[in-house]
Amino acid sequence: MDGDMQEISPIDQGQSGNLEAGKESSSLPSGTVTFLFTDIEGSTHLLERLRDQYAQVLAEHHKLLREVFQRWHGHEVDTQGDAFFFAFGRATDAISCAVDAQQNLSEHTWPYGVNVRVRMGLHTGEPLVAHTGYVGMDIHRAKRIADVGHGGQVLLSLTTRDLVSLTLPPGSRLHDLGAHMLKDIRYPQEIYQLEIPGLSNDFPPLKSLDKLEKEEEPPAPGKSPYMGLQYFDEEDAEWFFGRQVVTDRLVEAVCSLHFLAVIGASGSGKSSVVRAGLVPAIKARYPSQYLVKIITPSSHPLDAMAICLTQGSGSVTATATLIDDMQSNPRSLHLYCKKNLISGKDARLLLVIDQFEELFTLCQSETERQAFVKNFLYAVGIPDSSVSGVITLRADFYEHLAQYVGLRELVSAHQIYIGAMNASELRTAIVEPARRGGWELSPGLVDLILNDVGAGAGHQPEPGALPLLSHALLETWKRRRGNLLNLKAYTEAGVGTQRDRQNCRKCLLS
């Protein structure tokens, strides 16, 4: 039988063997949870020595620990003999509780001249909550970490260490004990000791199966599931998540209208929604009906339009002719598309002009700008036109449309505003690309990143959260350990700093 799946006792397994009376599994913390296992070192020796008096010592031990754990919002999941299994919704509460408990155990006056020393192990994960309690290897890992310690010692996994390293209780610090092989755990685990002020922190070597040299696992090869500050294009559609609702709205609008303006603030993800959301969805729903052409205006929008539309001809003359025709006649774009690109009764051309604001920021010729706008408006505006137009426009350029009456009225009548993604959508945009690409996210990493971009529990994402999030994910992926994106890689990337936030915004506005 696989060692990771062997049967163990309820408290070893981390499942609820003796839940407190009346406690339901639904009341246990869910999501990212920190587990803390405790037991008394040498409990069998104490029992043999004290016999019936051992019950009093055990009762005082239970009372002391329960008072401390209740103070730090710990949930008692299971208790068997001298062993406790607690769960915490916050890793910082768990570590503070461990310090408080060890100090109280050390200061307590025990009867019969005994000295009760308790070992503790902590690990953070994302378990399943079944009707019987927690299920999963994260619970098993926490128990095995506690097992290799000594009385009075507090041990942490790498995941818990990364979560609490910047918010340790006053005077406490962490000591790296290296990588260790633990019973029934397939891979070596990095273990850290919590050094508590006022208590002895000198312990024998851990009782692990084998102490290994700590080595950084090299990054596993593969394609990044995250785009950083680049937009998602059509070929990146398989990695594009979190915008299904707005994508469905765009598809519905395009199918019923000849024109649609997609408007949003800088960094709202307009280009990605249109290129990796709308376009693939239209092609999937209407595989033989829509021909899609995407351009950005650049400094010469007529050139960009003509080059895009004549790509299949292989003739430079055809491109030059179309440019000249559009300069002199606003019907040229419509006629060219009808003659060369649209065939069949129900066939349509979807012409996407991404970053429409380039007409005003890059194009220096008002004559060329006017010719471009007039050709575009005629192509999408004549009755029974077979051309549909979609533009993306930064909201702060809306006023530039005022001098183009037909364009202004069309945009005013047919527009969808792209707002900020909510926390749930941002979470999907993190988790799903990693899952699809076979990358693993360290427990707690998603919550930490969301919190850093202002999308933590109960908060609306801050403006510009999406580009900051995308940048954070790409930089973390570059520093991955094997196929794992962990908190250490995120910290090394430095993407949660104020300077990095400013750099992201400068890049978007440049």
| pLDDT score, position 436 | 92
Nearest Cα to Cα of residue 151 among 176, 120, 129 = 120
Q: Which residues of 218-239 are buried (b: 16+ CB within 10 A; e: fewer)?
A: eeeeeeebbbbeebbbbebbeb
Contacts of 400 (CB under 8 A, 6+ apart): 357, 359, 360
| pLDDT score, position 258 | 92
Instruction: Please state which CATH class domain 243-413 belongs to.
Output: alpha beta
Hey, which residues does 290 pair with through a beta bridge?
348
Distance, CA of 324 to CA of 329 (rounded, Å): 9
Strands (E) in 387-441, as ranges, are 387-394, 415-418, 440-441
Do residues 87 and 75 touch, judged by C-beta distance below 8 A? yes
AA identity, residue 328 = S
Strands (E) in 215-269, as ranges, are 259-264
Is pTM beyond 0.85? Reply is no
Q: What are phi and psi of 253, to 5 degrees?
A: -65, -45
Distance, CA of 241 to CA of 276 (rounded, Å): 9
| pLDDT score, position 215 | 54
| pLDDT score, position 198 | 92
| pLDDT score, position 456 | 64
Contacts of 335 (CB under 8 A, 6+ apart): none
Q: Over 322-346, what HEC string results?
A: HHHHHHHCCCHHHHHHHHHCCCCCC
Q: Which helix (H) or strand (E) holds 122?
A: strand 118-125
Let me know if 463 is exposed, middle or buried by CB neighbors in 10 A (0-12, 13-18, 19+).
Answer: middle
Nearest Cα to Cα of residue 466 among 211, 314, 264 = 264
| Residue recorded with tokens 């959301």 | 277
Nearest Cα to Cα of residue 6 among 184, 134, 186 = 184
DSSP per-residue letters across 133-145: EEESHHHHHHHHH
Do residues 281 and 247 touch, judged by C-beta distance below 8 A? yes
Domain regions of the chain by residue span: 3-212, 243-413, 423-509
| Residue recorded with tokens 């792209």 | 418
Q: Which is it for strands 290-295 and 259-264: parallel, antiparallel or unpaired?
A: unpaired
Distance, CA of 507 to CA of 466 (rounded, Å): 13
| pLDDT score, position 420 | 86
C-alpha 436 chain-centroid distance: 13
Nearest Cα to Cα of residue 210 among 180, 177, 176 = 180
Tell me the two tokens of residue 434.
């990693």
Tell me the two tokens of residue 7.
């049967």
pLDDT tens digit at each of 510 positions of the chain: 333 333 334 455 444 333 333 345 568 888 899 999 999 998 888 888 888 899 999 999 999 999 999 999 999 999 998 999 999 999 999 999 999 999 999 999 999 889 999 999 999 999 988 877 888 889 999 999 999 999 999 999 999 999 999 999 999 999 999 988 888 887 788 999 999 999 988 999 999 886 544 456 788 999 999 999 899 999 999 999 999 999 999 999 999 999 999 999 988 899 999 999 999 999 999 888 899 999 999 999 999 999 999 987 777 999 999 999 999 999 999 999 999 888 777 889 999 999 999 999 999 999 999 999 999 999 999 988 899 999 999 999 999 999 898 999 999 999 999 988 888 899 999 999 999 999 999 888 888 888 887 776 666 666 567 888 888 899 999 999 888 998 888 888 876 544 444 444 444 443
Q: What are phi and psi of 203, to 5 degrees?
A: -125, 155
Distance, CA of 448 to CA of 433 (rounded, Å): 18
| CATH no. for 3-212 | 3.30.70.1230
